A and B are shown apart, each in its own frame.
Chain A
Amino acid sequence: SQQGEEDPQALSIQEGENATMNCSYKTSINNLQWYRQNSGRGLVHLILIRSNEREKHSGRLRVTLDTSKKSSSLLITASRAADTASYFCATDWCNDYKLSFGAGTTVTVRA
């Protein structure tokens, strides 16, 4: 069954603005990861946050995790045209390390 679910489904912003997307999941997790997929390409790992962490930063990316609400957010600051892509959250749980993905958020950054 679907574990992660991203929101919104689509997001359009102006270059330089921030983009925020959310991920909700159903069961307890070990880790949550965010991946990016540019059109016609494979998914690329962006950032990982463990279940005992609340916030992680990587360059212009900021990820938060609220295990009580079973949700995570991904913030991209100072967006660029190259950030135009689909973003997916992926979770693993218990002793099962295969990743479960959502349907993704499609982000369009307008020049």
Chain B
Amino acid sequence: NAGVTQTPKFRVLKTGQSMTLLCAQDMNHEYMYWYRQDPGMGLRLIHYSVGEGTTAKGEVPDGYNVSRLKKQNFLLGLESAAPSQTSVYFCASSYIVSPYEQYFGPGTRLTVT
């Protein structure tokens, strides 16, 4: 049981490049989330999904797109990377029953130059 995995672990992009971050979970969770973590700002929700084929915007969605074609995978895309998107990105998943504990992946450290 691997839990939540993220690929890649590190990435450096040039401004304007695009990339996709992959999140996979093997716990059959309905909910999945993408957060970014920046110093002094905690975790901010980018997008989330409440089930296969559904996605919704979180607190800071601009510049990102997501897809959830399979229940176990949640992809985060950056169409045209900007230096402001330099951050650590975390994927998480949770059950739909209380207490709604979120299980986190190890994170992807992205630097945009």
User: Are A and B associated in one complex?
Assistant: no
Residues of B within 8 A of A (CB): none
Residues of A within 8 A of B (CB): none
